[in-house]
């Protein structure tokens, strides 16, 4: 019985240490990823950078909402329709940014 009790005591301490380290790791990972304001990181809304051009998260979300409204009017709703809209819009925006960069290089 004393063996089981000692395992329980040590196990609780080890579990608490592992959980504390995991939480600390998540906080530090978020702080240094550039998305957080915790340690002076910039509060970026950049979703992607294509050939030096930034794709803004808010603009992308707004375009998704517009496309979802259009799809709802056609009767296309649901998660599958949303994923299709996001994929199509993503490809469209990446192509637009690539074409803008190429056009500027050509002109």
**pLDDT, tens digit (0-9, with 9 covering 90-100), for 24-80:** 998 888 777 655 555 555 557 888 888 888 889 999 999 999 999 999 999 888 888
Residues 102 and 54 in one domain: yes
Specify whether 27 is located in the same domain as 3.
Answer: yes
Pair (34, 55) in one structural domain: no
- CA dist., res. 76 & res. 94, Å (int): 24
Indicate whether 58 and 102 sit together in one domain.
yes
What length does the chain have?
107
- Report the 10 Å Cβ neighbour count for 48: 14
pTM across the whole model = 0.58
**Residue 71 corresponds to which tokens in the numbers above?**
């799809």
């Amino acid at each position: 019985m004393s063996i089981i009790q000692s395992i329980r005591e040590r196990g609780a301490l080890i579990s608490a240490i592992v959980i504390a380290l995991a939480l600390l790791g998540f906080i530090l990972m978020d702080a240094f990823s550039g998305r957080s304001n915790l340690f002076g990181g910039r509060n970026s809304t950049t979703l992607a950078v294509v050939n030096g051009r930034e794709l803004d998260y808010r603009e992308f979300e707004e375009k998704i909402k517009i496309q979802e409204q259009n799809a709802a009017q056609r009767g296309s709703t649901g998660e599958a329709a949303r994923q299709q809209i996001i994929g199509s819009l993503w490809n469209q925006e990446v192509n637009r940014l690539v074409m803008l960069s190429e056009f500027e290089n050509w002109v």
